């Protein structure tokens, strides 16, 4: 998945949580004197952070942060809930599940000429319309899943994971304890442009009432997908972030006694060096999609469901010989926390080697310079953590961030 959650974070109307004051024990009402800033920079990996200076005078501690196997659709729920993917249930967007597919009415769109129905902009419009029609408030994109496959697929992120009840496994997110206690916080809206979310945080910090400012910066991910990790645009974007964040920090320090900064990412980015047409290799078996097997081809991972006896053997013979990736066994899935109950995401996963892009895939038809979603322990996959604090708990992986933020808030 291009984790192009185009704008920033996720709350329809962040002001519903703002404008209040902390009610302290003893009945007194006062503004919080400590501000915790949680700054989520999408795809700002450890390798990038090691190479490019970023808020070096502010972040006294910088370290690698273990990511999880998957895309932002997997990483973000782990950051928010502090649990492994197998527990929160979010992984990739599409799964083979015909009885639950909401896409059956879209079958007719497959009759339109591909030049019309498969244009990126047309798919984007249709995605927006379908999401609205179905009453979904989650991040939804049809990407390039073929029209004739969609009626067999279910979509995972129907609800906004930043809202209460948005996590499939029912876990509370880092924001729920604040909501329950009426503690005011600022939260970017992932539907809105990044500049708007920066302005929102700046404004909320100026008021001096919030205890937590959670900022989501999404555009670096898009820059890295488009330019790779060595593009000049990457440095430019980080410089621009630095300037905006320094403005916010200056205001924060004038309003609060203590400002504690935590910067983190969900994953890194890998430069794409080659492509693999896995789809054609699987199709060469002569097996029929939807009859003998089903598959979802993500950008770096393909997942297969075996519908007829013998299909698995024939597909796995192809997967075993396919260059540029490997089949994942149960032990590996378990170790990475992506062994989902009931094999919800497929009977067999094939993962591309770092730098290899599956083209075509259901996520895109052309190669792009940068991608993520490779083995989580590969150096370019590793995420980043940096903080201004010397006494806060240090996170090892994404699942620790929730605990760090809550501990900083005394919760
Ligand atoms: Zn991405």
Q: What local confidence, expressed as pLDDT, does residue 9 receive?
A: 34
pLDDT tens for each residue of 323-366: 999 999 999 999 999 999 999 999 999 999 999 999 999 999 99
> What's the 226 CA to ligand 1 centre distance in angstroms?
10
> How many angstroms separate the CA atoms of 124 and 2, rounded?
14
| CATH of the domain spanning 273-367, picked from 3.30.390.10, 3.40.720.10, 3.50.50.60, 3.30.1360.180 | 3.30.1360.180
What percentage of the chain has pLDDT greater than the value 70?
Answer: 90
Cβ-contact 8, 169 below 8 angstroms: no
| CATH 3.40.720.10, the chain: domain bounds | 14-82+176-269+383-408
> What's the 2 CA to ligand 1 centre distance in angstroms?
4
57 Cβ contact partners less than 8 Å away, ≥ 6 residues apart = none
Q: What local confidence, expressed as pLDDT, does residue 31 receive?
A: 61
As a whole number, mean pLDDT of residues 147-164 equals 92
> How many angstroms separate the CA atoms of 166 and 169, rounded?
9
Torsion sign over Cα 148, 108, 5, 48: positive
pLDDT tens for each residue of 5-36: 433 333 333 333 333 333 333 333 456 699 99
Q: What local confidence, expressed as pLDDT, does residue 210 receive?
A: 97
> What's the 268 CA to ligand 1 centre distance in angstroms?
9
Q: What local confidence, expressed as pLDDT, does residue 6 receive?
A: 34
Range with the poorest average pLDDT among 49-63, 151-165, 209-223: 151-165
| CATH 3.30.1360.180, the chain: domain bounds | 273-367
What tokens were used for 405? 């933020």
As a whole number, mean pLDDT of residues 118-145 equals 79
Q: What local confidence, expressed as pLDDT, does residue 124 receive?
A: 81
70 Cβ contact partners less than 8 Å away, ≥ 6 residues apart = 85, 91, 92, 338, 373
> What's the 219 CA to ligand 1 centre distance in angstroms?
9
What tokens were used for 57? 């005078």
As a whole number, mean pLDDT of residues 189-203 equals 96
Cis bond leading into 221, ω under 30°?
no
In the CATH scheme, what architecture does the domain 14-82+176-269+383-408 have? 3-Layer(aba) Sandwich (3.40)
> What's the 298 CA to ligand 1 centre distance in angstroms?
12
pLDDT tens for each residue of 248-288: 999 999 999 999 999 999 999 999 999 999 999 999 999 99
pLDDT beyond 60 at 1: no
| pLDDT tier at 115, thresholds 50, 70, 90 | low
> What's the 110 CA to ligand 1 centre distance in angstroms?
27
> What's the 256 CA to ligand 1 centre distance in angstroms?
34
> What's the 234 CA to ligand 1 centre distance in angstroms?
14
Please list the helix, strand and coil fractions of the chain in percent, rounded to the nearest 5, in that order: 35, 20, 45
What phi and psi, each to the nearest 5 degrees, are found at residue 225?
Answer: -60, -40
> What's the 233 CA to ligand 1 centre distance in angstroms?
16
> What's the 171 CA to ligand 1 centre distance in angstroms?
25
Q: What local confidence, expressed as pLDDT, does residue 13 receive?
A: 35
Count CB-CB contacts under 10 A for residue 212.
25
> What's the 74 CA to ligand 1 centre distance in angstroms?
12
30 Cβ contact partners less than 8 Å away, ≥ 6 residues apart = 21, 22, 24
pLDDT beyond 90 at 104: no
Distance of CA 314 to the CA centre of its chain: 33
β-pair type (356-358, 258-264): unpaired
162 Cβ contact partners less than 8 Å away, ≥ 6 residues apart = 9, 10, 11, 80, 173, 175, 187, 190
> What's the 380 CA to ligand 1 centre distance in angstroms?
13
What tokens were used for 281? 């290799």
369 Cβ contact partners less than 8 Å away, ≥ 6 residues apart = 225, 226, 227, 228, 231, 271, 272
Cα torsion for 223, 224, 229, 230, to the nearest 10°? -20
Taking Cα atoms as reference points, which of 95, 38, 150 lies closest to residue 385? 38
> What's the 299 CA to ligand 1 centre distance in angstroms?
10
> What's the 225 CA to ligand 1 centre distance in angstroms?
7
pLDDT tens for each residue of 243-257: 999 999 999 999 999
> What's the 272 CA to ligand 1 centre distance in angstroms?
13
| pLDDT tier at 300, thresholds 50, 70, 90 | very high
Which strand (E) or helix (H) includes residue 204?
Answer: helix 194-207
> What's the 3 CA to ligand 1 centre distance in angstroms?
3
Tell me which residue has tokens 């969900």.
266
What percentage of the chain has pLDDT greater than the value 90?
Answer: 80
> How many angstroms separate the CA atoms of 105 and 130, rounded?
10
Q: What local confidence, expressed as pLDDT, does residue 32 receive?
A: 66
Cβ-contact 328, 349 below 8 angstroms: yes
> What's the 224 CA to ligand 1 centre distance in angstroms?
8
> What's the 261 CA to ligand 1 centre distance in angstroms?
24
> What's the 211 CA to ligand 1 centre distance in angstroms?
29
> What's the 258 CA to ligand 1 centre distance in angstroms?
33
Q: Would you say how long the chain is, in residues?
A: 411
User: Could you give the 3-state DSSP secondary structure of residue 272?
Assistant: coil
């Amino acid at each position: 998945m291009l984790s192009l959650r185009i704008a920033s974070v996720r709350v329809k109307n962040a002001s519903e949580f703002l404008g209040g004051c902390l009610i302290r024990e003893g009945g007194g009402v006062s503004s919080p004197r400590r501000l915790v800033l949680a700054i989520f920079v999408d795809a700002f990996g450890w390798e990038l952070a090691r190479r490019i200076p970023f808020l070096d005078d502010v972040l006294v501690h910088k370290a690698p942060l273990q990511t999880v196997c998957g895309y932002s659709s997997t990483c973000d729920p782990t950051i928010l809930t502090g649990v492994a993917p197998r527990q929160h249930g979010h992984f990739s967007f599409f799964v083979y599940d015909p009885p639950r597919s909401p896409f059956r009415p879209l079958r007719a769109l497959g009759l339109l000429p591909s030049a019309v129905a498969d244009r990126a902009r047309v798919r984007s419009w249709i995605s927006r319309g379908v999401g609205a029609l179905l009453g979904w408030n989650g991040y939804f994109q049809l990407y390039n899943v073929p029209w004739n496959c969609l009626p067999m697929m279910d979509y995972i992120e129907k609800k906004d994971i930043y809202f209460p009840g948005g996590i499939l496994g029912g876990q509370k997110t880092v924001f729920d304890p604040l909501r329950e206690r009426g503690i005011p916080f600022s939260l970017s809206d992932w539907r809105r442009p990044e500049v708007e979310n920066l302005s929102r945080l700046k404004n909320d910090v100026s008021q001096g009432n919030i205890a937590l400012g959670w900022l989501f910066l999404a555009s670096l991910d898009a820059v890295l997908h488009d330019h790779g990790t060595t593009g000049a645009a990457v440095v430019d974007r980080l410089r621009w972030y630095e300037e905006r964040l320094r403005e916010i920090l200056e205001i924060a320090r004038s309003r609060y006694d203590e400002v504690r900064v935590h910067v983190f990412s969900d994953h890194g980015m890998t430069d794409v060096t080659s492509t693999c047409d896995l789809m054609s290799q699987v199709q060469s078996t002569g097996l029929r999609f939807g009859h003998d097997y089903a598959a979802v081809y993500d950008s770096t991972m393909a997942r297969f469901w075996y519908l007829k006896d013998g299909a698995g053997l024939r597909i796995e013979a192809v997967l075993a010989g396919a260059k540029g990736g490997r089949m994942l066994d149960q032990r590996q899935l378990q170790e990475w926390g992506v062994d989902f109950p009931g094999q919800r995401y497929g009977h067999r996963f094939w993962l591309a080697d770092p730098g290899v892009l599956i083209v075509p895939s259901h996520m895109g038809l052309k190669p792009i310079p940068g991608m993520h979603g490779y083995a989580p322990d590969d150096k370019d996959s590793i995420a980043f953590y940096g903080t201004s604090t010397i006494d806060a708990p240090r996170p090892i992986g994404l699942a620790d961030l929730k605990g760090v933020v809550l501990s900083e808030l005394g919760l």
